[in-house]
Amino acid sequence: MKRTLIRCGDLVSMDDGIGDLRDAEMLIGEDHILAIGKRLDAAHDELIDASTMIAMPGLVNMHLHTFQTGLRAFGSEWTPADYFTILYGDIATRFTPQDNYLGTLAGALNQLDCGVTTLFDYCHNLRSLEQAEASAEALEQSGIRAVFGHGDGIKPPGTPGAPAAEKRLHPRDRAQALRQGRFASDDRRVTMALAIAGPHWADWETSLHNARLGKELGLLVSSHVTKPRQLAVVPDGYERLAALGLLGEDHNLVHCNFLEREEIARLVGTGASITTTNLAELHDHASGPATLRVVQGGGLPSLGGDVEAMTTADMFREMQAALLHARHQSLREASATGAVPTAIPIRSRRPCVGPPWAGRRRCACRTRSARSRPARRPISCSCGRRISISGRCMIPSSPSSSRPMPAMSTPSSSTASPANRAGGFRWTRRSCRGCARSCRLRPRASSGNGRRGGPSEGAGLHGRR
């Protein structure tokens, strides 16, 4: 068994039993973290010097329309109506299987480059089994751990006989073919979910069909909750699904930005999970993100990047937006009553927001650890081998401080060749907003017996030149 020793500047474990350690070491053997501590003095085959960096678990992006990656920033000045008319209602309907493959592959590789090791790909432009297979294949080849959310795309404008949007039954034949074929097993790196039209967007018969199909196939179901109650197609639809036992831990609700705290609390009480996409919601809706209301309602929201054509899908930026909006919302609530805020409503250490490891459970990746800790469970796989170079994201820490820098290291540009994929990283240059220097992924490996090693199989290194 190959043993890799990583010497960390700062180690953020997200485990109360370990805490955060300065100048710590982490020993990895194949698919497990064997030990964490100071001066382990452990025998090893490869040594990685990460003494100027922060080691942390990989991030989770719980909601991304990954096929849209090639249109990055194309609609940064769009209104919501523009998005539905131009992208979702037109451009996305013209994607071929090859278009879906390329967009999804580029998007998944970009997520790995940004420190995300688990992704929920909400792919809702699918019109054929071939197109669905192409998207799923792209996720497989990228090396990321993912849930492929199979959605049903609308037909191109002017297509005769196309059903009304609120009457589009999720295609049973296509979902069954995927479930009985590529996704027959749930014990794999890429698994399946249903990305359905729910009561906010579909009539009751369609919503009921879609939710029951997820139950029948034993799949996680995710749906958009993006309208004020009075504008939803079925205003009390989610309450009716809950009464029938169709809303629970196997249902993920995205956005919920127009729902009041009491409504959110009732949904949380069913066991359903809620994902907020704060940058997209701030871009599109006056109601603002529901992140704080979910916490106030007793839930643990996960976060997602959503629409990269309009906002960035970088999860460090998404986390910052979630925390800042929650802070601003609490200030407004206090101001309305004349109260003086005495505490931050959601602290950055809270696992539901910063970073969004809560999403890993929602992604049905229950066999992978969401924390850095010794050999209890395998760490999340991002390459097809059991350990990935992206399994741990490391960013520069301040050399003059014993405390880590804020999580602000976000790439504004990078160049990647096929050899730069997870499991094959060599060099990836990037401009780092956290340290304002040109950085690169640079494995610096030397073994305990004097042999030089290849790229790390245990951690991603975001180091200074």
Q: Work out the average pLDDT over 363-369.
A: 43
Q: Are 134 and 148 in contact (CB under 8 A)?
A: no
Question: What residues does each domain of the chain span?
Answer: 3-56+372-464, 59-346
Comparing 117 with 401, the larger pLDDT belongs to 117
Q: Of the candidates 388, 465, 389, which has an alpha carbon nearest to the alpha carbon of residue 430? A: 465
Q: For 91, which DSSP code?
A: G
Q: Work out the average pLDDT over 154-183.
A: 90
Comparing 403 with 127, the larger pLDDT belongs to 127
Least confident of 186-200, 254-268, 421-435: 421-435
Residue 279, C-beta contacts closer than 8 angstroms, at least 6 positions apart: 305, 306, 311, 312, 317, 318, 321
The answer to whether residue 296 scores a pLDDT higher than 60 is: yes
**Which of the four CATH numbers 3.40.50.620, 3.40.50.1820, 3.40.190.10, 3.20.20.140 does domain 59-346 have?**
3.20.20.140
Pair type for strands 46-57 and 392-396: antiparallel
Q: Work out the average pLDDT over 269-284.
A: 96
- Check whether the bond before 355 is cis (ω within 30° of 0): yes
**Three-state SS at 226:** coil
Q: Work out the average pLDDT over 118-139.
A: 97
Q: What is the pLDDT of residue 303?
A: 94
Record: fold of 3-56+372-464: Urease, subunit C; domain 1 (2.30.40)
Confidence of residue 15 (pLDDT cuts 50, 70, 90): confident
N-terminal to C-terminal alpha carbon distance within the chain: 32
The answer to whether residue 145 scores a pLDDT higher than 60 is: yes
Q: Work out the average pLDDT over 423-449.
A: 33
Confidence of residue 363 (pLDDT cuts 50, 70, 90): low
Length of the chain: 465
Q: What is the pLDDT of residue 419?
A: 32
Which residues are registered as beta bridge partners of 427?
none
Q: Work out the average pLDDT over 317-328.
A: 93
Q: What is the pLDDT of residue 373?
A: 61
Q: Work out the average pLDDT over 443-462.
A: 32
Q: What is the pLDDT of residue 203?
A: 96
Q: What is the pLDDT of residue 165?
A: 80
Looking at every residue in the chain, the average pLDDT score rounds to 79
Confidence of residue 448 (pLDDT cuts 50, 70, 90): very low
pLDDT in tens, 220-243: 999 999 999 999 999 999 999 999
Q: What is the pLDDT of residue 138?
A: 98
Q: What is the pLDDT of residue 158?
A: 80
Going from the C-alpha of 152 to that of each of 80, 119, 128, 203, 326, the distances in angstroms are: 20, 19, 9, 15, 33
The answer to whether residue 377 scores a pLDDT higher than 70 is: no
Q: What is the pLDDT of residue 431?
A: 32
Going from the C-alpha of 439 to that of each of 158, 161, 346, the distances in angstroms are: 49, 53, 31
Q: Report percent pLDDT > 70 for the chain.
A: 75
The residue assigned the tokens 């490869």 is 46
Q: Work out the average pLDDT over 206-214.
A: 98
Confidence of residue 389 (pLDDT cuts 50, 70, 90): very low
Going from the C-alpha of 149 to that of each of 166, 214, 378, 386, 442, the distances in angstroms are: 19, 11, 24, 23, 33
Q: What is the pLDDT of residue 156?
A: 85
Q: Amino acid identity of 237?
A: G
Q: What is the pLDDT of residue 185?
A: 95
**Dihedral over alpha carbons 213, 98, 386, 368 (to 10 degrees):** -30
Spatial distance between the Cα atoms of 314 and 316, rounded to a whole number of angstroms = 6
Give the pair of three-digit tokens for residue 4.
């890799």
pLDDT in tens, 43-80: 999 999 999 998 888 899 999 999 999 999 999 999 99
Least confident of 20-24, 98-102, 129-133: 20-24
Q: What is the pLDDT of residue 374?
A: 57
The answer to whether residue 401 scores a pLDDT higher than 90 is: no
Q: Work out the average pLDDT over 121-133.
A: 97
The answer to whether residue 457 scores a pLDDT higher than 50 is: no
Confidence of residue 416 (pLDDT cuts 50, 70, 90): very low
Q: Work out the average pLDDT over 403-426.
A: 32
Q: What is the pLDDT of residue 168?
A: 86
Least confident of 103-117, 139-153, 351-365: 351-365
Same fold, 3-56+372-464 and 59-346: no
Spatial distance between the Cα atoms of 295 and 237, rounded to a whole number of angstroms = 23
Comparing 370 with 208, the larger pLDDT belongs to 208
Q: Work out the average pLDDT over 142-165.
A: 89
Chain centroid to CA 38: how far?
Answer: 31
